[in-house]
Amino acid sequence: MYNGNMAKLKLLGIHTSQRGKDSNTYYLMKLAFDSLKDNDIEKEIIVSSELNLRPCDHHYSINAKMCVNPCLITQTDKEDEMKKIYDGIIASDIVIFSTPIYWGNHSQLMQLIIERLNSLENENSAHKRVVVKNKIGGLMILGHEDGYQHTAGNLMNFL
């Protein structure tokens, strides 16, 4: 628990089920976040299915220096809302990603976000500017089928 002189701990959930707030994955994330009763924790859940998110144009494949933060898509397409996710991650202390398991893997929205987050990582590797540091990352993976270990392994590699 923080004392009065310190900023609140910021917890961000990024929910990636296409079913949005009607999904079991969202229900469990919201239940977990709501169970945190500490007033010194600022909580937010971004429901990615409610955002207009364009797929990655893979500028990195053309030239690593073209992959910047914010992403070129976000800079040129005013309809694209990935900036909410970028800003949320940068401002948060803890980021939890939630995904259902579909066909033994994470959701399509999770993959889209992973690819678009390359611009944050690339700030460090290609531009020598660290924008993501001192963060705790976590996963909530939900599914009734095989694939948990595969999904968790892939996503831990991403984190």
Query: Which amino acid is it at 159?
Result: L
- The structural domain count of the chain equals 1
CB 142 within 8 A of CB 98: yes
The reply to whether 95 falls in a domain is yes
Q: Is 21 inside a domain boundary?
A: yes
pLDDT at 5: 62
Q: Is residue 154 part of a domain?
A: no
Task: State the pTM of this model.
Answer: 0.91
The answer to the question of residue 159 being in a domain is no
143 belongs to a structural domain: yes
Domain interval for residue 16? 11-148
- Name which residue leads in pLDDT, 50 or 104: 50
Residue 41 covered by a domain: yes
**Rg for the chain (alpha carbons), in Å?**
16
Which CATH number do you get for residue 107? Answer: 3.40.50.360
Residue 48 located in a structural domain: yes
pLDDT tens string 112-129: 999 999 888 887 777 777
The stretches of 36-103 forming alpha helices (DSSP H) are: 59-62, 72-76, 82-91
Residue 115 lies in a domain: yes
